[in-house]
Each structure stands twice: as structure tokens, then as C-alpha cells.
A and B are shown apart, each in its own frame.
Chain A
Amino acid sequence: MDKFTTLTGIAAPMPLINVDTDMIIPKQFLKTIKRSGLGVNLFDEMRYDDDGKEIPDFVLNKAQYRDAEILVAGDNFGCGSSREHAPWAIKDFGIRCVIAPSFADIFYNNCFKNGILPIALPQEQVDVLMKDAEKGSNARMMVDLEAQTVTSSDGEVFHFELDSFKKHCLMNGLDDIGLTMEKAASIDSFEAAAAQARPWV
């Protein structure tokens, strides 16, 4: 998995609440058996019209946000299905960090498995960053995972919280499965004891 340490880049504003995974990547793109190539279809139904032409008003179609690496969004981002195609599409587009007041649980977890940092901040702070993102490509935000901070283009610093294990894995690009397999002995003994206690399972 890709490591995440620091990121300085353009932030795209998306002041919508309840952005769901059907919006992020509509189901017709779930038929792939690969993880890559979904970036062109990120936010497909908001981004393209019925003829497949770009809708100029959509934020990621605007010249100043085409290379955005950060997304600032409203409450409950990523709600809906468990599809990991959502973070795959975000990542494939080039976005490595999403900032919102809150995230849906499964989406939040899925981000970490794909080298994306979801940052939850209080609404008032997201409001400040949203304004900052609206300034366009000259305003670059800086994210520092080690320090757990986001710095706006004006130099205002916001501290965010996250789970220490998730942080550790993301900073070091660690593969969860490899880490868990190191604990195989614990799983073996649990399994043996459970087979005694609940043989019907």
C-alpha cells in the first residue's frame, strides 16, 4: 500500500452533505474485476451529462480543480454501500485526502486500506477550509499526518484526531493481512478453544 506522510495540494470544495457511494461511483462501474481505472468515472453522474459530455459547473471539471488532491465535503461523507470502488475511484482520480465533519463508517475504514487519509474536523473548521478551497488553485492546503494537522493556505492550523493504529499503518504503507498473519498463533488458539465451546459453528 502507498505510504501517506505529508501532502500539499489543491483542495476542491464540495459543500454537500450525505455524499453517498452511489454518487462517488455509480453501480455501472462496479462490474470491473480490477481496482484501477475508476478515476474517470469518479462522481460520474454529477460530472458528465447524458451524452457523456463534461458538465462545466461540476467542481472537478473546473480548470482550477482538475488536479485537486484534497476534497473538502459536507457531513456524513461516503454513506451508503460498502463498495471499495469508492475509495479506488477517488484515489485513481488523484485525491489522497478527504476532509469532512463526519464520515460513514465503512467508507472511512476503506480509505485507510487504500492510502487515502479521511480527516474529520468540527463543522466550523470544515467551514473555514471550505472557504479556503473555494479560492481555487492558488490556495494550497497542507496535510501532515505525523503532526495530525491541516494547514490552510493562510497558515491557519487545525489539529485532527485519528486512531493510532490506522495512523501507523498509513504512514508506513503497511499491509494489514501481513500484520495479522504475524498473530497467527493467537488465531489458532482462539479457533481451537471456540471449536470446543461452540462446536456447531
Chain B
Amino acid sequence: MSPKTLYDKIWDAHVAHEAEDGTCLLYIDRHLVHEVTSPQAFEGLRMAGRKVRAPEKTIAVPDHNVPTTAGREDPANMTEDSAIQVAALDKNAKDFGIHYYPVSDIRQGIVHIVGPEQGWTLPGMTVVCGDSHTATHGAFGALAHGIGTSEVEHVLATQTLIQKKSKNMKVEITGKLRPGVTAKDITLSVIGATGTAGGTGYVIEYCGEAIRDLSMEGRMTVCNMAIEGGARAGLIAPDEKTFEYCKDRPHAPKGAQWEAAMEWWKTLYSDDDADWDKVVTIKGEDIAPVVTWGTSPEDVLPITATVPAPTDFEGGKVGAAERSLDYMGLTPGTPLKEVEIDTVFIGSCTNGRIEDLRAAAAILKGKKIGVKRAMVVPGSGLVRAQAEEEGLADIFKEAGFEWRLAGCSMCLAMNPDQLQPGERCAATSNRNFEGRQGRGGRTHLMSPAMAAAAAITGRLTDVRELM
């Protein structure tokens, strides 16, 4: 048999039909659904008199526009249009008989955090969701795609996705990370090196010692941002850490089924002599704690650098950098460490897991914030409960952080958590686009530890100085 990549193996195990021109129907094992990109899809099913083909493989949770303040179970405490979307999801979940975690359920949270937490996401699966950060689930060695609403409807109706195979790209992070450097710094540095279109047309497999050394939480952070690098999906081969994480989760297999699953899962790795269409290698030691300075996730620099000038770039990037600097209100040559911020947001599907909260709390312990506003939005109700149990919530609250309920919150500011025009935010989320966190708001992306450091000093800060 010819050698295969991990992507090849998962792909081959899920092709339900292949046309002569290579267009395939890829069978979908898990379909995650949220309130913003699904209403039109369910409406389409109703209009055509279609059912959900595999309701038992379909899981819904409201996350994008739910408030993260107390009393949100009462729709009167939501804006009218948000309440309509959440009510539509409630109804669609019930009418079509799919698994559902309503806002009142402690298991509710960001769809990409809930899926793994509940054991829905398992190695070797195909996972889709009407959300580009579905790539997160690739941390388990699952092939996970973000899809549009028409595709959501297609998967609901047929449990398949029309796909052509992507190319294989390997991103290897060799060696060890230096102190203060985290999974977020890895994933941002990769995008900084390859650009936001560097992965277009590829599925990325992340590998190397620095990736192996990451926890499952860290691996999810890395895969989460594969989409920011343009790739459709990011993958990490499953190993003992993966199996350990999955074991005994509510929807993970048990007993003999677990054994059978393990047998297959252990074959899920790229063969030594597999062919790669593109290879990128980065030394772990070369990665520094980074922040973004512009309005594209590729605008990444080490915290020790200065704000670049448009003339540092070439081609279309010159104009883009000019526009970014103007939007961000930054002057070339300013040390990044002198950029003052007024808001801190810790949360999102990139960095809203327990390990992220631990990392931030470790920096904040016994300290007070030096910014106007700081909030922690745990990725799920269960992460929130665990953080309370571990005493992390108290550290955040004593430091002056708001301690919120689970949801997407200020990652995309569809709920009331938004930046005001001109406000500058240190954020652990994944997108720094213009207006992403609120019209006129300015976003600097970074790791939870770096965001915590910035919260204390009131400016972008090298976390290593506080360690």
C-alpha cells in the first residue's frame, strides 16, 4: 500500500461516493450547530419537507449571541433579535430531534469547547459546523471543516458534504518552547510566517516535539487558528494524551467499543514516507511571546519588536498596512511594549479552556488590573465551574476582572459585550479584523498569560518580565 498522511487516512475512510471528476461525498460523523448560521438551513429543510438524516450525530448549542451575564435564561434579558435566533434554535432542536444544550444547561458553552468536552469529538472522525473555527477539533486527529449555511442544510439533509480533496501541508515545530511561550504563540507565529492565505487549498498537519509536548487544550488552540492561516482544517495525530482526554467522556465509547476504537485510532498517523505538497518547519526555540499589531492575524510580531512601517512590506500589503496602522491608531517605530490598552478579554474557542484560565490566573494572582475593563468569559459552563472549584475565579475577581457566563462574547461582539470606538483590547481570541470586537474597536491578539500581563500594566507587556 502506498504511504498515506493522516488526512489521507481519514479522508479515505469517509468517502461515500466519488464522481469521475474527483468530486466526493464525504460522510460526516458529527455535525455541530449553533444559532447564527443554522436558522436558514432548518427553514430550507422545512420548505422542502426534508428531515435531518442523522439527528443522533447532530448536536446544537447556542453560543454566539447569548449574553454572558446573569439572568440570561429569560429571553427578556436578550436583545430581541438574539432572542429570536436562540428561540429558533430551541425549536429546531426539538422539532428535528437533535441533541441540545440550552443556555440553562451547565454544559452549554462555545460549540468548539462543548464538542470535545462531551466526548462528541473523537479521533478519526469527520466533524463539521457552520463556523470556521471548527478546525479546533482537528486537535484530536479528526478532520474538521467549517462550512456555510447552505452546506449546513446539505449535511442536515444528507449527512454528507460535497468535497474535493485538499492538498497535504506539514507544519513541524521542532524542539522545546522557551518559558513564557505558549500554544497561542505557536499558532500566531505560524500564521505570521505563512500569511493568512498560506494554507489555502491545504489541510495542515501540525507535528514535531513542541506540538507533542502540548496538552490537548494547547493543541486545540493551535488547530483552532488553522483557518486564520487559510487552511480548511488543521490536524494533530492522536496519541496517549488524546486517548486519556477522551476516555470516560459522556459520549466516548466504553468497554469493548473503546478497545475497538483504540485499535483504529492507533493507526491514525502520517506514514514516514508520506508525500507532502508543502512543508514548513519552525524551531520551537525561535518562537517568542507574540502580539498582533494590525487588522489581519498575519500581522504578528514578538512583543519585543516595534510597530512596523508600511514601507517594510511589499505589493498589496503596503496599502493594507497603511490602512491597518491608521485603523489601529499606531505610529511606526513605537515599541509594542509602550502601546496602552484599556480593555482585556480572556475567552473564546481559542483560549477559553481551563488551562488558559490557569495560565492567566497564575500571572494575576495577588495583583490588580490597571485597565478600564477586563473580563473572563469561560468557554463552557463546566470550565467555569471547574475554575471556581480551583479558586481561579476568586483570583480573577480579586484582580478586578468581570467573571462571566459561557459564550462567544467579545470574540465577535454579537452580544452586548463590545468595544467602543477607539477602545484598545488585549484579546485571547482569534480575529483582529476591523470592527470585529465592536465598531471602531482595536484588537491585539495574544496568549492568555500575555493578556493577563497586559491587564496588570495597562499596556502590551512581555509576560516574561512578570514571571
Residues on A facing B (Cβ under 8 Å): 15-18, 20, 22-23, 26-28, 30-35, 45, 50, 74-76, 79-84, 87, 102, 104-106, 109-110, 113-114, 163-165, 176-177, 180-181, 183-184, 186-187, 190-191, 194, 197-201
Tell me, yes or no, whether B330 is within 8 Å of chain A by CB.
no
Known contacts A82-B132, A180-B158; A22 and B88 CB within 8 A of each other:
no
- Asked if A22 and B431 make an inter-chain contact with CB atoms under 8 angstroms apart, the answer reads yes
Residues on B facing A (Cβ under 8 Å): 13-17, 19, 21, 23, 25, 27, 29, 36-37, 39-40, 43, 48, 50, 57, 64-65, 79, 81-82, 84-85, 88, 122, 124-125, 130-132, 146-151, 153-154, 157-160, 162, 164, 196-197, 200-201, 230, 232, 252-253, 257-258, 260-261, 264, 296, 316-317, 319-320, 323, 412-414, 421, 431, 433-436, 439-440
Point out the residues of chain A lying under 8 angstroms from B434, CB to CB.
22-23, 45
Among A27, A32, A34, A194, the one with the most B-chain Cβ atoms within 10 Å of its Cβ is A27
- Asked if B37 and A82 make an inter-chain contact with CB atoms under 8 angstroms apart, the answer reads yes
A172 to B415, CA, bound (A): 40
A32 to B264, CA, bound (A): 43
Known contacts A27-B412, A82-B131, A201-B125; A16 and B84 CB within 8 A of each other:
no
- Asked if B159 and A187 make an inter-chain contact with CB atoms under 8 angstroms apart, the answer reads yes
- Asked if B157 and A81 make an inter-chain contact with CB atoms under 8 angstroms apart, the answer reads no
- Asked if B200 and A113 make an inter-chain contact with CB atoms under 8 angstroms apart, the answer reads no
Point out the residues of chain B lying under 8 angstroms from A82, CB to CB.
37, 130-132, 146-148
- Asked if A31 and B435 make an inter-chain contact with CB atoms under 8 angstroms apart, the answer reads no
- Asked if B433 and A177 make an inter-chain contact with CB atoms under 8 angstroms apart, the answer reads no
A165-B23, A177-B158 known; 12 new pairs, CB 8 Å cut-off, are: A16-B316, A18-B196, A27-B414, A31-B79, A31-B85, A31-B414, A34-B40, A105-B230, A109-B151, A183-B16, A198-B124, A198-B264
- Asked if B50 and A177 make an inter-chain contact with CB atoms under 8 angstroms apart, the answer reads yes
A56 to B36, CA, bound (A): 32
How many Å from the CB of B56 to the closest CB on chain A? 10
Point out the residues of chain B lying under 8 angstroms from A181, CB to CB.
157-158
A162 to B82, CA, bound (A): 38
A79 to B433, CA, bound (A): 10
Known contacts A31-B85, A105-B201; A176 and B150 CB within 8 A of each other:
yes
- Asked if A198 and B16 make an inter-chain contact with CB atoms under 8 angstroms apart, the answer reads no
A32 to B176, CA, bound (A): 47
- Asked if A22 and B433 make an inter-chain contact with CB atoms under 8 angstroms apart, the answer reads yes
List 15 A-B pairs, Cβ < 8 Å: A15-B319, A23-B435, A31-B84, A32-B81, A34-B40, A45-B434, A74-B316, A75-B197, A76-B196, A83-B36, A84-B37, A87-B148, A186-B17, A191-B16, A198-B13
How many Å from the CB of B430 to the closest CB on chain A? 10
Known contacts A181-B157, A187-B158; A16 and B319 CB within 8 A of each other:
yes
- Asked if A31 and B82 make an inter-chain contact with CB atoms under 8 angstroms apart, the answer reads yes
A105 to B166, CA, bound (A): 10
Question: Out of A28, A87, A105, which one reaches B200, CB within 8 Å?
Answer: A105
Question: Out of B84, B122, B414, which one reaches A28, CB within 8 Å?
Answer: B414
A180 to B15, CA, bound (A): 13
- Asked if A104 and B413 make an inter-chain contact with CB atoms under 8 angstroms apart, the answer reads no
- Asked if B435 and A110 make an inter-chain contact with CB atoms under 8 angstroms apart, the answer reads no
- Asked if B25 and A163 make an inter-chain contact with CB atoms under 8 angstroms apart, the answer reads no
A15 to B320, CA, bound (A): 10
Known contacts A113-B151, A176-B154; A199 and B260 CB within 8 A of each other:
yes
How many Å from the CB of B375 to the closest CB on chain A? 18
- Asked if B230 and A84 make an inter-chain contact with CB atoms under 8 angstroms apart, the answer reads no
Point out the residues of chain A lying under 8 angstroms from B85, CB to CB.
31, 33
How many Å from the CB of B18 to the closest CB on chain A? 9
A165 to B25, CA, bound (A): 13
The list of the 7 closest CB pairs from A to B, nearest first, reads A200-B253, A113-B150, A190-B16, A33-B39, A31-B81, A17-B316, A110-B148
A80 to B16, CA, bound (A): 29
How many Å from the CB of A82 to the closest CB on chain B? 4
Question: Out of B27, B146, B435, which one reaches A26, CB within 8 Å?
Answer: B435
How many Å from the CB of A177 to the closest CB on chain B? 5
A23 to B118, CA, bound (A): 34
A110 to B146, CA, bound (A): 11
A106 to B440, CA, bound (A): 26
- Asked if B160 and A180 make an inter-chain contact with CB atoms under 8 angstroms apart, the answer reads yes
How many Å from the CB of B59 to the closest CB on chain A? 13
Q: Looking across the interface, which residue of chain B has its beta carbon closest to that of A109?
A: B148
Point out the residues of chain A lying under 8 angstroms from B201, CB to CB.
105
A50 to B36, CA, bound (A): 25
Point out the residues of chain A lying under 8 angstroms from B16, CB to CB.
183, 186-187, 190-191
Point out the residues of chain B lying under 8 angstroms from A50, CB to CB.
421, 439-440
How many Å from the CB of B69 to the closest CB on chain A? 18
Point out the residues of chain B lying under 8 angstroms from A76, CB to CB.
196-197, 200, 230
- Asked if A165 and B21 make an inter-chain contact with CB atoms under 8 angstroms apart, the answer reads yes
- Asked if B260 and A106 make an inter-chain contact with CB atoms under 8 angstroms apart, the answer reads no
Point out the residues of chain B lying under 8 angstroms from A106, CB to CB.
132, 146-148, 232
- Asked if B257 and A163 make an inter-chain contact with CB atoms under 8 angstroms apart, the answer reads no
A190 to B21, CA, bound (A): 20
A52 to B293, CA, bound (A): 28
Question: Out of B25, B43, B125, B436, which one reaches A33, CB within 8 Å?
Answer: B43
Known contacts A28-B414, A200-B122; A186 and B146 CB within 8 A of each other:
no
Among B48, B82, B258, the one with the most A-chain Cβ atoms within 10 Å of its Cβ is B48
How many Å from the CB of B440 to the closest CB on chain A? 8
Point out the residues of chain B lying under 8 angstroms from A187, CB to CB.
16-17, 25, 27, 158-160
- Asked if B153 and A33 make an inter-chain contact with CB atoms under 8 angstroms apart, the answer reads no
- Asked if A79 and B149 make an inter-chain contact with CB atoms under 8 angstroms apart, the answer reads no
- Asked if A27 and B413 make an inter-chain contact with CB atoms under 8 angstroms apart, the answer reads yes
Point out the residues of chain A lying under 8 angstroms from B150, CB to CB.
84, 110, 113-114, 176
Known contacts A83-B37, A200-B257; A17 and B25 CB within 8 A of each other:
no
